[in-house]
C-alpha cells in the first residue's frame, strides 16, 4: 500500500494530475503512446536496471550492449521504426542506459557530411549493423578548440589514399563513445594535408577492427579510457593511428573534396557544420538535462513528505521535512526550474524547426541567432539543472548519498552535460559575442533578430512595484529581467570599448571582459526563460486549475532568480532595497503555497518506479523498507566479510592468544 503520508498529499491536489501530464505530453494520445512504449520495454527483463548500482564498469558495458542488441529485435517485433512516433519514448524508457549511441552519430554525420554515393554505400551497412560505427573527434590534447586537432591525413597522390596518423601522444583520440571495445569503423577528424599544405579539419571513414574476428586493424591501437564519474555503460575509447591508409573516397565529401590530382574543392557553406552541433545541443536538453532534474525532484519531494524529522511545534508529531521553509527553499525552485526549462526547450525546438525550414530553402539568416541561443541555453540549462539535481541529492541527507536513492547516478551523469558538446563558459562567451554584436548594431539603428529586439527598446528607469503583490505580475518581473540583461550587456560593451580606446589590444580587452560577458549572456538567457514561461502560462486560459499552479511556478522561478541574484537587480537601483524585501516576502509566500501541490506536480511527470530506479522515490513511498531490501542484494552482502579470514581473524585471534 501507499505510505499514508504520501497518499494524503495526493488528495488535496488543486488540479488534475492526469490533465497536466497530458498537456505536458502534447495531448492525451501522446501520453497513451508513451506509456505503451515504456510498458513494453519495462516488462521485458532484458532491459532491467535492477542491479545497476552494484555493477562494475565491465558489467555495465556488457549490459548496455546487450540492451542495444535486444532493442533492435524488440523494435522489429513491435513494429517500431527510428522515424516512427514511438522512437522518442524509447530513450526515456531505457533511461539512456544503452550502447550504440555513437553509432547513431556515425550515421548522422555521414548523412549530413557525406555525398549521395557515400550515403548509398555506408548508411545501409550501418543501419543493418554490418558494421558498428563511432565518431572520433576529441583528442587527448584538444576538445572544444577543434582547429587545434593534431591528427593528420596526408593525401598520397600515387596511391590515391589518405595516410592517417596521430603523430604525438596529445593527438590520440580520447573519449569517443562506442569506440574503446565495440566499433569496427569510425569517422576520424583530422587535419588534411595535400602537397604539404594544410586545409584544416576534415572527416574520414576509417575501419579500426576486423569484421571477422574484431581484432584491431594494422596501424590501429585502441582501448578503453578507464573509469569515469558515470557513463560506465558507454564504451568511451582511445585511438592511435600509425600510417593508416584509407582510399580517397573515404573522406566525407559533400562539402569539400580532394580530386585525384590533389586539387581541393570546397562546395556550399561551411556554416552548415554549426547546424549539426546546434542540433545535438538542442536535442540533449530534454533527454539528458531536464528529464534528470524532473526525476530528481520527484525522488526528493516524495521522500520529503515521507521523512519526518524533529518537531515544528513542541508536543506535536514530528514534522514532514517538506514543511520546513528551508526544505521548501531547496526543492521548490528546482521544481519550478524543471517546468521553466521544459517550456524553453519547446521554444528552442520551434525556433529550430523554423530555422530548418529556412535552411532547406537555402536561407541561412537564422543561423547566428539559433547558434547563439542554443549555445547559451545549453550552458544555462545544464548548469541550472545540474545544480538542481545536486540540491535534491543533498536535501535527502544521508539517504540521498546512497546510490540506491538513484540521485548520485542522476547527478554524476548530468554533471557531464556541463562539459560535453561544448564547455559551458565557452558557450556563454559565444552567446555574449552575438549579444555584443547585436547591441552595437542596435546603437547604430540596424534591425535585430527577434530574440534580441529588446536591446533597442527604451525602458523605464525604475521598477514601478509598490507592494509585494505587484511582484506577482509577470510584466513587473519580466521587465526587471529585461532591464538587467540590457544593463549587463551595455555596460560590458562600454567597458570593452573603453579598454580598446585606451590602447588595449582587442583580444586582450575581450579576455579582460570575459567574466562580465558570461554574466551578460546568462542574464539574457534567464530573461528569455522567464518571458517564455510567462507567455506559456498566459496561453493556458482554458485550463484554469493548471494555469493557476503554473502561474505560481512561473512567479516562483522568476522571484527566486531575483532573490538569489539580488546584486544585479539592485546595482543601478532599478529595484530598491525596499522592493527587494517585497520580492523576498512574495518569494517566501510562494514556497508555502506551492508546497501544497508539490507531490501532484512531480506525479505529473509520470515516471514509473522502474524508470526512477530509486529506493526513495517510488510511487508508494515505502522508503525504509525498500532501502533495506535493496541493500540485501548488494555483492557486499553475498559473502562473509572478505577481510575476515585474511585480516580480522588473525588480528582478533593473535591478540586473544596472547592473553
655 belongs to the binding site for its own copies (CB under 8 A): yes
138 is in an annotated binding site: yes
- Distance, in Å, from the CA atom of 404 to the CA atom of 629, rounded to the nearest integer, reads 10
- Restricting to residues 72-91, which ones interact with its own copies according to CB under 8 A? 72
Look at strands 152-156 and 161-165 and give their pairing. antiparallel
- Restricting to residues 537-576, which ones interact with its own copies according to CB under 8 A? 565-573
Please say which residue, 56 or 497, places its beta carbon nearer to its own copies: 56
Q: Print the binding letters for residues 478-517 with its own copies: x by CB under 8 A, - otherwise.
A: ---------------------------x-xx--xxxxxx-
Q: Print the binding letters for residues 25-64 with its own copies: x by CB under 8 A, - otherwise.
A: ----------------------------xx-xxxx-xx--
Candidate residues 120, 229, 265, 469; the one interacting with its own copies per rule CB under 8 A: 229
Q: Residues 6 or more apart from 372 whose CB is under 8 A from it?
A: 430, 431, 433, 434, 435
Q: Print the binding letters for residues 437-476 with its own copies: x by CB under 8 A, - otherwise.
A: ----------------------------------------
Q: Is 352 helix (H, G, I), strand (E, B) or coil?
A: helix
Look at strands 185-194 and 173-174 and give their pairing. unpaired
Ranges of H-type helices in 502-622: 506-512, 514-538, 544-564, 566-570, 577-595, 598-603, 609-612
Q: Residues 6 or more apart from 180 whose CB is under 8 A from it?
A: 222, 223, 224, 225, 235, 236, 237, 238
279 is in an annotated binding site: no
Q: Residues 6 or more apart from 400 whose CB is under 8 A from it?
A: 300, 303, 392, 393, 394, 407, 408, 616
326 belongs to the binding site for its own copies (CB under 8 A): yes
Please say which residue, 534 or 623, places its beta carbon nearer to its own copies: 623
Candidate residues 169, 198, 265, 494; the one interacting with its own copies per rule CB under 8 A: 169
Q: How many chain residues bind its own copies (CB under 8 A)?
A: 128
- Distance, in Å, from the CA atom of 184 to the CA atom of 133, rounded to the nearest integer, reads 6
172 belongs to the binding site for its own copies (CB under 8 A): yes
425 belongs to the binding site for its own copies (CB under 8 A): yes
Please say which residue, 214 or 357, places its beta carbon nearer to its own copies: 214
Candidate residues 272, 284, 500, 588; the one interacting with its own copies per rule CB under 8 A: 588
CA atoms within 13 A on the CB side of 112: 20
Contact 163, 219 (CB under 8 A): no
Candidate residues 29, 39, 82, 318; the one interacting with its own copies per rule CB under 8 A: 318
- Distance, in Å, from the CA atom of 541 to the CA atom of 465, rounded to the nearest integer, reads 25
Active-site annotation holder among 86, 150, 369, 421 = 421
Stretch that binds its own copies, among 83-91, 130-138, 451-459, 475-483 (CB under 8 A): 130-138
Q: Would you give the distance in Å from CA 238 to the centre of its chain?
A: 24
Stretch that binds its own copies, among 87-95, 363-371, 434-442, 640-648 (CB under 8 A): 640-648
- Restricting to residues 380-419, which ones interact with its own copies according to CB under 8 A? 394, 397-398, 400-404, 408, 412, 415-416, 418-419
Shortest CB 506 distance to its own copies, Å: 9
Shortest CB 306 distance to its own copies, Å: 10
Look at strands 237-241 and 173-174 and give their pairing. antiparallel
249 belongs to the binding site for its own copies (CB under 8 A): no
143 belongs to the binding site for its own copies (CB under 8 A): yes
Ranges of H-type helices in 44-127: 57-78, 87-94, 101-113, 116-127
Q: Which helix (H) or strand (E) holds 401?
A: helix 397-401
317 belongs to the binding site for its own copies (CB under 8 A): no
Q: Residues 6 or more apart from 432 whose CB is under 8 A from it?
A: 492, 517, 518, 520, 521
421 is catalytic: yes
What are the grid coordinates assigned to 243, written together? 600510417
Active-site positions read 421
Binding site for FAD: residue ranges? 138, 177
Amino acid at each position: 500500500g501507499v505510505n499514508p503520508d504520501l497518499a494524503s498529499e495526493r488528495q488535496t491536489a488543486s488540479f488534475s494530475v492526469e490533465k497536466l501530464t497530458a498537456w505536458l505530453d502534447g495531448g492525451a494520445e501522446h501520453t497513451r503512446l508513451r506509456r505503451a512504449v515504456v510498458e513494453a520495454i519495462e516488462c521485458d527483463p532484458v532491459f532491467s536496471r535492477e542491479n545497476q548500482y552494484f555493477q562494475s564498469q565491465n558489467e555495465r558495458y556488457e549490459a548496455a550492449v546487450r540492451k542495444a542488441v535486444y532493442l533492435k529485435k524488440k523494435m522489429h517485433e513491435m513494429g517500431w521504426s527510428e522515424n516512427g512516433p514511438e522512437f522518442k519514448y524509447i530513450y526515456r524508457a531505457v533511461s539512456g542506459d544503452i550502447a550504440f549511441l555513437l553509432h547513431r552519430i556515425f550515421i548522422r554525420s555521414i548523412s549530413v557530411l557525406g555525398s549521395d554515393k557515400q550515403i548509398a554505400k555506408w548508411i545501409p551497412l550501418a543501419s543493418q549493423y554490418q558494421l558498428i560505427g563511432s565518431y572520433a573527434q576529441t583528442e587527448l590534447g584538444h576538445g572544444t578548440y577543434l582547429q587545434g586537432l593534431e591528427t593528420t591525413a596526408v593525401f598520397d597522390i600515387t596511391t590515391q589514399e589518405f595516410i592517417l596518423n596521430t603523430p604525438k601522444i596529445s593527438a590520440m583520440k580520447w573519449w569517443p563513445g562506442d569506440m574503446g571495445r565495440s566499433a569496427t569503423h569510425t569517422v576520424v577528424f583530422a587535419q588534411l594535408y595535400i602537397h604539404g599544405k594544410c586545409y584544416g579539419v576534415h572527416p574520414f571513414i576509417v575501419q579500426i577492427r576486423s569484421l571477422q574476428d574484431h581484432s584491431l586493424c594494422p596501424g590501429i591501437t585502441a582501448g578503453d579510457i578507464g573509469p569515469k564519474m558515470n557513463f560506465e555503460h558507454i564504451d568511451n575509447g582511445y585511438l592511435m593511428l600509425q600510417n593508416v591508409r584509407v582510399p580517397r573516397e573515404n573522406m566525407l565529401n559533400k562539402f569539400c573534396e580532394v580530386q585525384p590530382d590533389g586539387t581541393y574543392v570546397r562546395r556550399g557553406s561551411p556554416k552548415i557544420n554549426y547546424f549539426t552541433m546546434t542540433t545535438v545541443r538542442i536535442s540533449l536538453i530534454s533527454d539528458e538535462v531536464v528529464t534528470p532534474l524532473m526525476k530528481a525532484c520527484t525522488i526528493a519531494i516524495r521522500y520529503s513528505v515521507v521523512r519526518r524529522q524533529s518537531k515544528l511545534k513542541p508536543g506535536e508529531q514530528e514534522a514532514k521535512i517538506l514543511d520546513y521553509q528551508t526544505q521548501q527553499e531547496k526543492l521548490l525552485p528546482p521544481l519550478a526550474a524543471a517546468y521553466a526549462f521544459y517550456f524553453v526547450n519547446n521554444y528552442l525546438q520551434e525556433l529550430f524547426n523554423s530555422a530548418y525550414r529556412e535552411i532547406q530553402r537555402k536561407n541561412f539568416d537564422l543561423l547566428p541567432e539559433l547558434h547563439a541561443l542554443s549555445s547559451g541555453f545549453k550552458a544555462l540549462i545544464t548548469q541550472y539543472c545540474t545544480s538542481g539535481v545536486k540540491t535534491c541529492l543533498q536535501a535527502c541527507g544521508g539517504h540521498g548519498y546512497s546510490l540506491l536513492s538513484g540521485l548520485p547516478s542522476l547527478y554524476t551523469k548530468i554533471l557531464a552535460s556541463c562539459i560535453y558538446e561544448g564547455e559551458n563558459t565557452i558557450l556563454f562567451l559565444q552567446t555574449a559575442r552575438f549579444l555584443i554584436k547585436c547591441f552595437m548594431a542596435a546603437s547604430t539603428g540596424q534591425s535585430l533578430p527577434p530574440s534580441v529586439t529588446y536591446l533597442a527598446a527604451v525602458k523605464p528607469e525604475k521598477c514601478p512595484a509598490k507592494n509585494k503583490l505587484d511582484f506577482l505580475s509577470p510584466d513587473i518581473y519580466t521587465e526587471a529581467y529585461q532591464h538587467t540583461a540590457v544593463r549587463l550587456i551595455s555596460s560590458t560593451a562600454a567597458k570593452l570599448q573603453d579598454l580598446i580606446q585606451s590602447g588595449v589590444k582587442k583580444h586582450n580587452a575581450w579576455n579582460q571582459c570575459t567574466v562580465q560577458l558570461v554574466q551578460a549572456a546568462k542574464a539574457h538567457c534567464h530573461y528569455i526563460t522567464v518571458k517564455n514561461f510567462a507567455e506559456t502560462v498566459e496561453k493556458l486560459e482554458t485550463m484554469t486549475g493548471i494555469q493557476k499552479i503554473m502561474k505560481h511556478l512561473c512567479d516562483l522561478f522568476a522571484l527566486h532568480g531575483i532573490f538569489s541574484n539580488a546584486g544585479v537587480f539592485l546595482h543601478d537601483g532599478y529595484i530598491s532595497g525596499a522592493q527587494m524585501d517585497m520580492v523576498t516576502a512574495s518569494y517566501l509566500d510562494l514556497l508555502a503555497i506551492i508546497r501544497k501541490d508539490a507531490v501532484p506536480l512531480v506525479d505529473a511527470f509520470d515516471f514509473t518506479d522502474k524508470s526512477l530506479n530509486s529506493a526513495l522515490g517510488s510511487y508508494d513511498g515505502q522508503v525504509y523498507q525498500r532501502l533495506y531490501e535493496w541493500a540485501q542484494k548488494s555483492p557486499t552482502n553475498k559473502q562473509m566479510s572478505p577481510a575476515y579470514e585474511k585480516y580480522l581473524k588473525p588480528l582478533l585471534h593473535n591478540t586473544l592468544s596472547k592473553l
